[in-house]
Amino acid sequence: MTTGEHGKESLNFSTPDNVKLLERITSVRGNPLIAFYMCDKVYINEECVLPLYDQLKKIEKPKGKPLDLFLYSRGGTTETPWKIVSLIREYFPAYNVLIPYRAHSAATHIALGAEELLMGPMSELSPVDPTRMHPLLPQGPDGNPIPISVQDLKHCISFLKNEAKDRYTAEAVAEIYTALFEYINPLALGAIEQSYRLARLISRKILETHFHPIRDAKQIAHVVDLLSAEYQSHAYPLGREEIHTDLGLNAIKPSDELWDAMWNLYLSYRDETNTAYTDQDNEVSTRHLAYIDTPTERIVLRQHFQIVQSDDGEANEEILSTQWVRV
């Protein structure tokens, strides 16, 4: 078995149903199509950019036609969506996003750059307030820093200001503040605030790719404020009606035919990423974690692993390699 960066690999998991579904969506929409699917084990990061670039270079680009981007992801790094949106705009005058289910956090950022959001009954975006890991944050039981968002801190401070002052003496509240800042290093607080401001900046810049930065400044600010600060949970699901009514974005209900193809394509990807294939000769297993597909080209995030026994007899996965390959 040989591999290379985005090169062909001899092991090929044939998925003809995916191709048929991609072709159905293309037939209904009449636009070039890329499917960008990240299973829940992985997230959008800078390593996604090169395979997406490869697909954008190869895909046909009919003059004046927007790209349709089928998108599923639970999130990712704060910076990467701006690179992805900028990259798409290098090749297409505009793009639309087809959302079968979750397009959260970093995927919501990508969706903000779309002219149209095709959203069915299960489709959802989320707030984009980032959760930050920092080496100076408190550690969890596994020894890793506990991720904290700006909203977590703001709600904590708000509680102390508005609730605790009526229940505790001023001296007790001061002791709570002291304990809080002994628990969370001020340098980590600065990093969390920096991530929050960066997320707002990226939201604004992505919206300005298709809204006028001056004429539509009020609406842009409204969307940025809602998504970065107003919702009380990072996982709050924003459906089509809220996207259209509250945010004022162009969220459209797909036709029954289109939605059926979108949903079945999601189910196909979900089932594929939940399946591992084992080579009985060397006991190495292989699974796909992400896909960047067109109707004629496929690039996958392929992971090889094996099951090993620990000293106490427990079976654990040992990851051998994870890389994007064209199949």
Give the model's pLDDT for residue 130: 75
Q: Would you say residue 137 has pLDDT above 70?
A: no
CATH number at residue 50: 3.90.226.10
φ and ψ at residue 34, rounded to 5 degrees = -125, 130
Together in a domain, 118 and 218: yes
Helices 217-225 and 186-207: crossing angle, nearest 10°? 140
Query: Locate tokens 């200001």: which residue?
Result: 161
Together in a domain, 184 and 210: no
**Is residue 58 one of the residues assigned to a domain?**
yes
Together in a domain, 85 and 136: no
Together in a domain, 206 and 179: no
Instruction: Give the residue from 174, 191, 208 where a domain finishes.
Output: 191
Q: Would you say residue 16 has pLDDT above 80?
A: no
**pLDDT confidence band for 165 (50 / 70 / 90):** low
Together in a domain, 106 and 207: yes
DSSP, res 228: I
Domain span holding position 26: 16-128+200-276+289-296
**Is residue 257 one of the residues assigned to a domain?**
yes
Together in a domain, 120 and 46: yes
Helix/strand/coil percent split, the chain, to 5: 40, 25, 35
Give the model's pLDDT for residue 15: 59
Give the model's pLDDT for residue 138: 63
Together in a domain, 170 and 220: no
**Is residue 136 one of the residues assigned to a domain?**
yes
Which contiguous run of DSSP H or E holds residue 22?
helix 16-29
The region of weakest confidence among 7-16, 35-44, 121-130, 248-257 is: 7-16
DSSP, res 144: S
Tell me what percent of the residues of the chain surpass a pLDDT of 90: 65
The closest alpha carbon to 99, from 295, 253, 285, 307, belongs to 253
The closest alpha carbon to 257, from 159, 141, 120, 128, belongs to 120
Together in a domain, 90 and 217: yes
**pLDDT confidence band for 135 (50 / 70 / 90):** low
Together in a domain, 112 and 161: no
∠312-317-320 over CA atoms, to 5°? 130
**Is residue 311 one of the residues assigned to a domain?**
no
Give the model's pLDDT for residue 57: 97
Instruction: Give the residue from 168, 191, 214 where a domain finishes.
Output: 191
**Is residue 317 one of the residues assigned to a domain?**
no
Determine contact, residues 122/191, Cβ cutoff 8 Å. no
**pLDDT confidence band for 156 (50 / 70 / 90):** confident
Together in a domain, 33 and 148: no
Separation of alpha carbons 154 and 149, rounded Å: 9
Together in a domain, 30 and 149: no
- The mean per-residue pLDDT over the stretch 101-111 comes to 98
Does 232 or 117 have the greater pLDDT score?
117
pTM (global) more than 0.75 = yes
Does 182 or 211 have the greater pLDDT score?
211
Strand positions, DSSP E, 125-240: 131-132, 148-149
Mean pLDDT of the chain: 88
- The mean per-residue pLDDT over the stretch 210-229 comes to 96
Count of structural domains, the chain: 2
The SS3 of residue 97 is strand
Q: Would you say residue 1 has pLDDT above 70?
A: no
**Is residue 82 one of the residues assigned to a domain?**
yes
∠283-288-291 over CA atoms, to 5°? 165
Determine contact, residues 96/68, Cβ cutoff 8 Å. yes
Give the model's pLDDT for residue 42: 96
Give the model's pLDDT for residue 132: 61
**Is residue 85 one of the residues assigned to a domain?**
yes
**Is residue 51 one of the residues assigned to a domain?**
yes
Instruction: Give the residue from 149, 171, 191 where a domain finishes.
Output: 191
Separation of alpha carbons 170 and 160, rounded Å: 11
Together in a domain, 214 and 187: no
